Amino acid sequence: MAKPLEGIRVADFSHVIAGPLATQFLNLLGAEVIKVEPPAGDPMRNYTRNPERRGMAEPFVGANAGKKSVVLDLKTDEGRAAARKLVATADVVVENFRPGVAERLGLGPQALTTAHPELIYCSVSGFGQDGPMRDFPAIDQVIQSVSGLMLLSGHEGEPAERIGFPIVDTYSALLSAFAILSAVVQRERDPQRRGQVVDVSMLDATMVMMSSVVVPMMLAGESPRRAGNRGFSGAPTADTFATADGEITIGAVQQIQVERLFRTLGCEDLLDDARFSTPDARMANDAALQAVLKDRFATRTALDWEADLAAAGVPAGKVRPLDETMTLEQLQGRDLFLDLGDGSQILNAGFKFGRDGPGVASPAPGLGADTEAVLAQLKAED
């Protein structure tokens, strides 16, 4: 059986992370993604500290393996004409130009969906296609700042700090791919097979990503409090603790989990202590309980505690550096690491199908590697 999106062609005019990663999810599900790049290439090709990988930087490979690359100079009449020919054969267009740029190039949603009513057109931008901040330039960490995300982590009084990877770009990409897939389903169910115009704002996406703190503020006026490594529940038994070698994070939130935690730590007498016997009591005596827990966790290694707590049914995990996580046996056999056929691997979609699941089998394309073949095909189809 074919992959879910086989037969779907995506004309991808996006660059850097949010747009290309969105089309990569479609690519992993079987869509043919034709990446349109300027003569200088996607800037992400050079986002590497290793000079030998310039032109094929590691983040670029991860977001573009399996795609085709076509170089078109959209500043020229010839380039724009070729782009319109490509769009005429596509099911989906994705772009992340600054708002207004696509229209100036003659590649805006109104022009293209009028000419091709079945087209699904997705724009990804910092603040969306309308509103007073529409024309503000933005990158991931700017949206982290504007959205309030940078003031959710850490402790009160500390300076704001960005999340250590482009989380806004990544979530915006996921939301864009979800929106495009929804539009594909909608078109298939529409007797007139009408396409859709999708407007993804990175700021909007970030607010949705933070819904667990945004919605309480909307409903109850409850501002989030910065609590460091404390869990969302605020419970003193949901935190990160030092062990004999490294740290471990505990997520004992429910009463049964707390009881199991105390027994595993060998301090079941706490269950009979009125200060710690109920959730409210534990919150009221937070510092006293944390002192006990810190002393207990310091007696053994993080791996030892992780194994024993997991066996007891208590959520717990050693704080690991990424290179250690990559060696976990748990990650093997999950279809997570994708072989590209050239001896290298990238990450797959992050979920498994019972059959015909996500994946690609070819590495990221060299700049313009498919220009001649794709343009020849478009000419033949005229």
DSSP state of 227: B
State the catalytic residue, choosing from 91, 169, 272, 273: 169
69: helix, coil or strand? Answer: strand
Tokens (6 digits) for 148:
């309030």
| C-alpha–C-alpha distance, residues 155 and 230, integer Å | 10
145: helix, coil or strand? Answer: helix
| C-alpha–C-alpha distance, residues 214 and 219, integer Å | 9
Amino acid residing at 291? A
Q: What beta strand segments (E) does 96-226 contain?
A: 120-125, 196-201
| 177 CB-near residues (< 8 Å, 6+ apart) | 22, 23, 25, 26
Rg (CA), the chain: 25
| C-alpha–C-alpha distance, residues 195 and 212, integer Å | 32
| 351 CB-near residues (< 8 Å, 6+ apart) | 357, 358
| C-alpha–C-alpha distance, residues 333 and 253, integer Å | 31
Q: Sign of the CA dihedral 3, 333, 20, 67?
A: negative
Tokens (6 digits) for 90:
């596509």
DSSP state of 271: G
Residues across the chain: 382
308 is catalytic: no
Report the catalytic residues: 169
